Each structure stands twice: as C-alpha cells, then as structure tokens.
Structure 1
Amino acid sequence: MSNSATDHATIPQTLWAARGRHTGPEPDDVVRRTLRRHKESGGIDDFAEPPAPEDSFVQIFEARWRTDGTVTVRARLTLLPRRDRPEGREWTLVAEAERPWDDAWPSPATLFWPEAGATDATDGAWDHHPTVVGLRFRQVNALPEDDKEMRRRLRDAARDAWCVNLVVHEAMTPDERGRLPLARLLPPGLRHRVVEHRAAPQQLRAVNWALKDLGVEVPRGGAVLLPPDPAPAGYDGREHSVRTVFLDGSEPTELLTAVRHVAGLPRPFPQGAEEALMDLRENWTLLTLQEELERERRLVAMYAEALQAMTKSRDLYREAAEQAHQALAVYRDAPVPPALPHQQQRAGSRSPSALQQLTRTFERLKFSARPFRPVPVPDGDGTDTAGPAEGTP
C-alpha cells in the first residue's frame, strides 16, 4: 500500500467526487426520473443526457444547479456498462462548484439518485461499494466472522481512495439506536462518501490483526479511520483514531470531527478521478446562452492565435529561405581565393629530391599507360605473325 502523495496531483477544493455501484435493473431510468423530479421541484436548473463517445457503451448525465442561491455547480454522472461488473453497473459522479466545496451543501448523489426510503425498492440499490461486494454506503457493514475474510475486506476497501473508511469497535452489544449508521450524523456532503465497518465486541483482537498491515489500530470501544491510498502528504494514521465512541444515539463529536478533518485534507486524485474531472470540464454540453457565447469567443481567440502563429512561422521560413539563396549566390560568384602565405611557403620548402622523385613517378605512370603494339614473328612457312611484344616501343 502506498503511503506517499508523490507524483500525484491534488484534488481541487472545488471538487466533490464519489463512485459506487447500482445493483438493480435499469439504473439509467432511475437517474432520469430523479433528475426530472428535481427539475420540476426547482432543485436543479437543468439536466441533459449528452451522447457517449464513439465505440463506448457508457451513459452520461449532466446536471446544473445553484447552491446557496448564487454558487453554480456543474455535475456529471457516468454509468459504465454492466459487462464490466456483472453484479451491477458502476457509476462515477464528479461535481465542481464556482468556489471551494462546503460539505453543508446538498450531496450531488441525492440529486442524481433517490434518497433513502424511496417508494421503489430498486431505486435504493445505488449505494453499493464500487469494488468490494457486500459493502454499502449509508449503512452499517458488519465485519466478517472469518479472520482472513475480514483482513481481505479491510485491505480492499482501503485501496479505494474515493471514499473514507471508518472502523468502529462495539464495546458492548448496542441497542436499537446504537445500531444506526453514524454516517447519518455527518454533513450532507460526506454521508455518501463514508463506509462504516463495525466490529463486534469479541472481534477486537481479530480486527487489529487485520489492520496491522495498514499501520493503524482501533481502540477498545473506539474507532479508527483507515489511511487512503495514496495517502495525503504528512498523513499519520495514529492521529485519526478516537478512544471512545458511545453507540447510544448521541452525537460522537470527536469522531465526526476526525472524519471531517480527514475528508478535508489535500488529497491526491484517486484512480480515474482526474480523468473524470477533465471530462467534465472539456466535454460539458449543458451551457447557458451566456456560456455558449463566451465559449465561442474563446474558440475564435484560440483560432486567431493559432493562425497568427502559423503566419509568423511562414514569414520566418520565407525569410530564412531568401537568406539561404542569397548566401548561395554570393558563394557561386566569389573568385577562387589565392593560396595563403603559409601554404605557399610549405610548397616552396619542398626539397629538390622530393620533386625529382615525384617527377619520376609521373614518368613511370605515363610509360605504363602506353598501349601494346603487335611485333611480327616469323612462323615456319616464312609468314610473319603479329604477336604482342611487351615493352616494345
């Protein structure tokens, strides 16, 4: 498990990001109904379903609303194909505001998905953990009885940095109020990003054995927050444990403060979140008239800048070509330069013997280059037969 934020970009404070898995039928219809209901009630300004990229089977939904009356929020939900996760359809939701995100604002998840207690039971099937089967948001997740299975679940859950993992140990068997999820006491912006794991009273030793590889330990009757992967710079897991958590229905102030602190740390992007943010910014289609006008102006300015750069490059190339042609013409018309003094001195300093040797060499070459001439040779009947005579002048 990585404990460093090196080489990871940091999530901007304006971003809210979450992901999960819908296990019911037709999740796209659930999203459409929810968005339509919020638009009719004024909860959102507008929504759209832009076309997916070519050769892609994802479904995309966009929504825009104003929080606090003036802060515009743009959000984009992506549904992956069911074939990627046979047990359901994974979804990714990113929302970006005009100023740093406030966890007191409404959760973007409840604007795309129905709230708990919906009349249609299948509408509430969207809050499953994206990768770990059996885990759900908004609910208490009892840890498995098997030690190895418990260790595997906590390890796999900690790898997903999209959410905050909270492990609570029950000092004694809680009553009905103590069995309620603690996430309901968190601000709206955090309720759908926290996974609550519960260890029974007799599981204290087993859960700490399972947490050993993660470098944290849960106190008896307390709670601990699992370190995300990758962890924020300077993260110390020992600082994010709570000694005592009363499961009697009262508000655990110290624990809620620790959760808000961890969620507010400058965190690196989890896997896939940076791409989802870039997709939101670059492929956003739900524009107002003013936004469309500003977008066209930016495109015109960008094209004008590119055209100016191309024109400048063309002029520079033409100028360089003209200079090269001028230099070549000057080089062709220039007279042969006279020998330099030191070259003349070197030629005159040659000894007569060297010059004579060079002359004899040329004479031998000239002599050897002469053609062969036939020489008459008498045969037996007195007739002359031409034959080559090597070296005959």
Structure 2
Amino acid sequence: MAENSTSATTAPDTAWLGRGRHLGPEPEQDVRRNLIALKAAGVLDDFLELDPADAARSSVLHPRDEAADPGPSARRLFEARWRVAEDVTVRAQLTTYDPEGRRKDGEGVVWVLAAEADRVWDARWPSPATMFWPDSDRVAWDHDTVGQLRLRTTNHLPKDDDELRRRLRDSIRQSWFIHVVVHEAMTPDAAGQRPVSAFLPPGLRHRVVEHRGTPEQAQIADFAMKRELSVRMPRGGAVILPVEPRSPDYDPERFTVRSVFLDGSEPTELLDKIAEFAALPRPLPDEAERALTRLRQGWHLLTPDEELAHAQHMVTKYAEALDAMTKSRDLYREAAEAAQAALADASGGGGAPLLPGSGPAKAEGSPLSALTRAFGRFRRDPGKGRGKDGSEERGTDPAPDEDPGT
C-alpha cells in the first residue's frame, strides 16, 4: 500500500477504524458466513452486501456524492448494524480492495473497516472486526498492511538493523493500529509468550500490534528506536510508539513501562498505558477520513423508521423543487407579457401580441430578443422603406458621378 497522507482532522471519539489484509483464498466468503451466523444468533440487527459500483449509484442519502464511491479497486462492500449497551446503535462498513498495482503472491486482499456509534466509543463493547471477520486463528484476516505484522499475536523484531529501523518507521507512518514494543528480559515460557492484546478489552483488542524484542536485542532495538523515533526501550519493559505527525500530547516517558512480567499474569500498568494512549487525539489518515465520510453519507442499511424519515425528506425536497419551478414559470410568463406589451408600444400598436410559450423555444425567439429587434429597426438608415408589395427596399441614393441637381 502507498504511504498514508494525513489530514488535519482527528479521529472522532465515536468511531472505530481499522485497515488490514486478509491472506486467505476467499475473504468475502469468510465475511458472508460470519454475518449470517451472527444475524441468526441475534447479535446483528441486520447486514447488507453490495457491489461497489451499485453502492455508489444507490446511496440513499447523497446519490451523487463522491464519498459514496469506494473507488475503482474496491471488490465488495458490506454493511452491518448492531446494538450495544441496550440502546446504542453501531453502524459499520467493511470494504475489500485489490492491492495497488500488480498483485503479488501472498499479499492478500486489503480491507478497510469504519464503524461509528451514537455516542462515545466504549472499549468494553464488542470489536467491530469480529462482526465481519470470524474470531478464529484459522482465518488470516488480521494482518497489518505494514510488512508481515499481525494482530492477536506477537511479532518478533527483525534481526537485521536496517530492516528493524524500516519496520519502526513504517509502523508509525503507515499503520492505523497502535504499536507496542515489549522487551523480553529472558526467554519466556508458553504462558509468557501470550500476547499482551489478549488482556485488552474487546473494543481495543484488535487495534494493537505487539512487537517483541528478544533478550539479546536489548541494545540494538533501543538504539534503533532512539535514532528513528526519539524513544527508548527499557530492558525488560515496554514502550508505546508514537504516530506521525506526532501529537503534542505524546510524551515518551508517559508511555513507557519500566518492567513487564511475562509470566502469564495481567500486565496492568501496560494495559492502562495502552488505554490512555488510545484515548489521545489521533490524526486521521486521508483514507480513513474517506471511509468515515462514506459510512456517514453513503449508508444503505436503513431501519424502517429511517426509511420513513428518508421518504418524508424526499417528498419535502420534491415539493420544494416543484414550488420553485412553478414560481419560475410564473415569473417568466410575467416577463414575457411585459416584453410583448413593450414591443406593441414600440411598434405603434401594430404588433400583434404573441401568446406566451408560442414559437420555437430558443434564444432568438424569446420576448427579449423580439423587443431588441423591434428597437433595432428604428436605429436603421432613415432612407429605408418598404415597397408596394410590403418588402423592404433601400432609398434611391444618387450615383457617385450623377449630379443631384439634374
């Protein structure tokens, strides 16, 4: 994927945004199966699948708005609606995309997910990702668009120094997720290898990518982060990486944990730091802003009450348009009648008034044009007149070599 450009807008606190890659053979089929199962279980109120071209044309709110168009590389668009905390409605759109340029083996299908609630997002609510994707390790939907990074597991830092610095740079510039680097003071057992994200609440769990540094990588990882990001990685501790452009609210010391015990116990201090970081104002990448705008302005899955309100709104709009057309027609008729009266006065009452709307519907047949031509005749050469047959003829000017007195 191309490097993100970031707008001055910050992500709203009502939204949940994610972008990743699905490496399996049938990503859309995985989504369909999960949506059908969750609706049957009563988790979802409803869902909808659309062809992207049809979605752009049939947007009920703004049918001509470019925001309703997911773009030429879009494959499918899915919408789902569910409720949390009993009365809070969440609306979400997931769009699958072909990678930019030529598709490489193993690159997978890119997906963008935008969800928004009626009030401030609560991390204890279900993850929107698992409303569309099955929450199973057997379905490889949870890859970041950066390198080979993956959610829901640990990602060991590269051994090569250049590759390590490149991964750190890409993580803060291109990824939509929160990146946490944890250093292993000693090689952990099976319980200690459990990812930190497993302890996070559901709404935050699929927003975190966890990097792990092995015991022998303490110095090289610390040097690389100091050089590239101006942050330090404590031995046996953890640090939450900033994002670019860096927020003035980000302080490396504030988001550094000196000691993390990787023994299977809940790392409470680190979890609190991640939640605090997630609550900071976050710059909204351009693609994320478009996805959020498309969710708000290109929504299709209406409730019965919303359909009724939309129909009433359209009736009002059509009535206003009809009223404006009627007023415009009446004004035009009044102008035409006034112009014809002026024409009759200018021609000495000899001009027969025309009925409104008669004659060809073009510019030269308009009342204003007829009036202009009538006054134009009075500005012509006074020697002009009409013949006996009523046709226009020129005056008898003498020839240049003829004596006017003869």
Do both proteins adopt the same fold according to a TM-score greater than 0.5, normalized to the shorter chain? Answer: yes
Partner in structure 2 of residue 19 of structure 1: 19
2:298 and 2:8 map into 1 onto residues whose CA distance is: 23
Deviations 1:172-224 (A, max 9, x none): 11121111100000110111110000111111221122212212111111111
1:68 and 1:319 map into 2 onto residues whose CA distance is: 61
Partner in structure 2 of residue 93 of structure 1: 113
Partner in structure 1 of residue 180 of structure 2: 166
2:47 and 2:163 map into 1 onto residues whose CA distance is: 42
> Which 5+ residue runs of structure 1 have no aligned equivalent?
333-370, 372-393
1:72 and 1:289 map into 2 onto residues whose CA distance is: 14
Partner in structure 1 of residue 85 of structure 2: 68
TM-score (ref. length: structure 2): 0.72
Mark the CA change 1:103 to 1:210 in structure 2 (over 3 Å): closer, same or farther.
same
Mark the CA change 1:280 to 1:7 in structure 2 (over 3 Å): closer, same or farther.
closer
Partner in structure 1 of residue 69 of structure 2: none
Deviation of the 1:305 alpha carbon: 5.0
Mark the CA change 1:308 to 1:272 in structure 2 (over 3 Å): closer, same or farther.
farther
1:12 and 1:34 map into 2 onto residues whose CA distance is: 27
Residues 157, 165 of structure 1: 8 Å contact kept: yes
Partner in structure 1 of residue 160 of structure 2: 146
Mark the CA change 1:318 to 1:83 in structure 2 (over 3 Å): closer, same or farther.
same
2:251 and 2:339 map into 1 onto residues whose CA distance is: 65
Deviation of the 1:295 alpha carbon: 1.3
Residues 61, 76 of structure 1: 8 Å contact kept: yes
Which of 179, 183, 186 is the matching residue for 2:193?
A: 179
Give the alignment of 1:257-276 within 5 angstroms.
Answer: 257-276=272-291
Partner in structure 1 of residue 271 of structure 2: 256
Partner in structure 2 of residue 157 of structure 1: 171
Rg (Cα) greater in structure: 1
Farther off after superposition, 269-278 or 18-27: 269-278
Give the alignment of 1:316-327 within 5 angstroms.
Answer: none
Partner in structure 2 of residue 47 of structure 1: 47
Partner in structure 2 of residue 377 of structure 1: none
Mark the CA change 1:169 to 1:297 in structure 2 (over 3 Å): closer, same or farther.
same
Deviation of the 1:308 alpha carbon: 6.1
Deviations 1:240-278 (A, max 9, x none): 111111111111111111100111112221231111111
Secondary structure of 1:239 counterpart: coil
1:312 and 1:204 map into 2 onto residues whose CA distance is: 78
Mark the CA change 1:171 to 1:64 in structure 2 (over 3 Å): closer, same or farther.
same
Residues 183, 212 of structure 2: 8 Å contact kept: yes
TM-score (ref. length: structure 1): 0.74
2:282 and 2:336 map into 1 onto residues whose CA distance is: 53
Partner in structure 1 of residue 230 of structure 2: 215
Deviation of the 1:323 alpha carbon: 11
The aligned amino acid for 1:22 is H
Secondary structure of 1:53 counterpart: helix
Deviation of the 1:72 alpha carbon: 1.0
Residues 157, 211 of structure 2: 8 Å contact kept: yes
2:320 and 2:134 map into 1 onto residues whose CA distance is: 47
Partner in structure 1 of residue 303 of structure 2: 288
Residues 168, 224 of structure 1: 8 Å contact kept: yes
Higher relative contact order (CA 8 A, sep 6+): 2
Residues 74, 95 of structure 2: 8 Å contact kept: no
Partner in structure 2 of residue 10 of structure 1: 10
Mark the CA change 1:88 to 1:299 in structure 2 (over 3 Å): closer, same or farther.
same
Residues 161, 230 of structure 1: 8 Å contact kept: no
1:61 and 1:75 map into 2 onto residues whose CA distance is: 8
**C-alpha RMSD over aligned residues:** 3.0
1:153 and 1:248 map into 2 onto residues whose CA distance is: 27
- How many positions carry a matched residue from both structures? 323
Deviation of the 1:320 alpha carbon: 10
Mark the CA change 1:200 to 1:317 in structure 2 (over 3 Å): closer, same or farther.
farther
Mark the CA change 1:96 to 1:77 in structure 2 (over 3 Å): closer, same or farther.
same
The aligned amino acid for 2:82 is W
1:315 and 1:77 map into 2 onto residues whose CA distance is: 49
Mark the CA change 1:65 to 1:202 in structure 2 (over 3 Å): closer, same or farther.
same
**Percent of residue pairs identical:** 54
Secondary structure of 2:50 counterpart: coil
